[in-house]
Amino acid sequence: MDAALEKRQVQRAYELYAPVYDFIFDWIFAPGRAAAVRHLGLERTDSVLEVGIGTGLNLPLYPAACRLTGIDLSQEMLDKAVERVQTLAMPNVTLKVMDATALDFADNEFDKALATYTISAVPDPVAVLREMRRVVKPGGTLVVLNHFRSGRRLAGWLEDVVAPVCTRLGWKSNLAMTPLFEQVGLAPQLVVKVNMFNGWRLVKCVNRK
């Protein structure tokens, strides 16, 4: 499947998810999201990029005065994030529709970057992580929270089997963690298992340029 076609499928999937996304994904994945923002180690002056901000479920976890830029491929999802920003009265939040494989930001523009449950839902995870690394300053922090392919033989095989179906639903079930970060040139400083059954991994990296 070519990347352009997969990108359209992802857009369609998340347009359909938008009305029920919070109901499905809020409580199930809340522990991981809270841990991901906490591991950013935010300082008052930090500028933060959140890739795949969706409906803005992470917004209440940030300090109210945080200088945050959130991007997403889905306008429908961002419409809900805009409502959340207004409700929370967060004056320093900017939301933009943007393709994460070609970020419209300068090199070294942000202190920190976050992607929660996003990397397996994009057509080109390597390109997205490379772009995140490009726009984060040297020594800055990148936190990725995602489901990655299991290292256990049976579980990994099952994830491979269901991968074609999951791709049509808008995410990859068998994305391998170690090769992904190696290709991008990022060395995980911390890997923590989170959420139900420890089925998701929180990966923290320092941007060594």
For the chain, the domains span 3-206
Q: Supply the pLDDT for residue 157.
A: 47
**Which one-letter amino acid corresponds to residue 92?**
N
Count of alpha carbons within 13 angstroms of residue 37, beta-carbon side = 17
In angstroms, the Cα distances linking 87 to 49, 60, 80 are 20, 10, 11
What was the pLDDT predicted at 7?
Answer: 56
Beta partners for 71? 51, 96
> What SS3 class is residue 1?
coil
Q: What's the pLDDT score for residue 156? A: 47
Distance between CA atoms of residues 110 and 136, nearest Å? 5
Burial class from Cβ neighbours inside 10 Å (0-12, 13-18, 19+) for residue 106 reads: exposed
Q: Which CATH superfamily is domain 3-206 in?
A: Vaccinia Virus protein VP39 (3.40.50.150)
- For the chain, 209 residues long, the average pLDDT of each consecutive 10-residue run is 50 55 69 96 95 94 92 91 94 96 97 94 91 98 86 57 52 78 96 85 93
Nearest CA to 69 out of 32, 106, 35, 124 is that of 106
